[in-house]
Amino acid sequence: MSSTAPREPMVVAEQVHKSFGSNHVLRGISLEVSRGEVMCLVGPSGSGKSTFLRCINHLEKINSGRISVDGTLIGYRENNGKLYELSAREAAAQRAGIGMVFQRFNLFPHMTALQNVTTGMVRVQGINQSDAEIEAKKILERVGLSEKLGHYPAHLSGGQQQRVAIARSLAMRPKLMLFDEPTSALDPELVGEVLDVMKELASTGMTMIVVTHEMGFAREVADSLIFMDGGVVVESGKPIDVLNNPQEARTKSFLSKVL
């Protein structure tokens, strides 16, 4: 996690703009995330953090700029300086390599915890059911849920559901994990178990971008912290520096409210 040699970039965003109709949500986001880096995105609601995250795995199309993950342009193919839109199949293949964890978990309610994890392996990667189950059991054990394999999401606590959701993403062996406010929908006493799983994941060298309000997590785990407001990056740096010694007035005002 801590910086050693200069690292190769995993995510590169250059001047990303995104509008929903007349609502200009992202107004030129540029940033770089190195392989193995954990980056936290913080900022007031409506600042565009979640939208930016969704642009990285092409759940939203960007209007201008470019995003690449692991050296590959997202959503397009470039040929002789011209952009070609990717086919649905190619876009899906790109997304499979990028894990995403949602605020509201979005587990498949008609599948057990185990089926939630195996379904991507079977339907996307074409792994046979029994091999997928062996692998899924290992992943669910890693997130501390080996007792809950046959449970449906409705019978799991919020923290357990979110850990299944993380396991579902991990099953696709992503090179990058995106977390969109993973603990915001949780009861306070359940936040810790999800953050613990994320810490463990960070310690294995997973590249992670985390939209969060958990400043403690940012301080302890993140390598870098970005403060966004009004669709732009206001301030960025090491979490300790930004959190303890913010330079911009907007950062100071936001942190004074959340810390």
Summarize as ranges the residues that interact with another protein (CB under 8 A): 57, 59, 88-89, 92-100, 102, 104, 106-112, 119-120, 123-124, 152-155, 165, 168-169, 171-172
Measured from the CB atom, the residue of 99 and 239 that comes closer to another protein is: 99
Query: 154, exposed or middle or buried, with CB in 10 Å at 0-12, 13-18, 19+?
Result: exposed
- Which residue intervals of the chain are DSSP H helices? 49-56, 88-96, 113-123, 129-142, 158-170, 188-203, 215-221, 239-244, 249-258
Least Å from the CB of residue 61 to another protein: 12
Closest to another protein by CB, 185 vs 255, is: 185
CA distance 176 to 170: 10
Distance between CA atoms of residues 184 and 32, nearest Å: 25
Q: Are 235 and 227 in contact (CB under 8 A)?
A: yes
Nearer to another protein, 13 or 171 (CB): 171
φ/ψ (deg, to 5) at 42: -125, 165
Q: Which is nearer to another protein, 57 or 224 (CB)?
A: 57
| CB-nearer residue toward another protein: 63 or 94 | 94
Question: In the complex, what is the shortest distance from the CB of residue 99 to another protein, in angstroms, rounded to a whole number?
Answer: 8
* Shortest Å, Cβ 177 to another protein: 11
**For another protein, which is the closer residue by CB, 106 or 245?**
106
Looking at this protein, which amino acid is placed at residue 110? H
Q: How far is the CB of 66 from another protein (least distance, A)?
A: 20
167 alpha-carbon distance from chain centroid: 13
Nearest 5°: phi and psi at 29? -95, 125
- Least distance to another protein from the beta carbon of 105, Å? 8
**What number of CA atoms fall less than 13 Å from residue 52's CA on the CB side?**
36
CB of 90 to another protein, least distance (A): 11
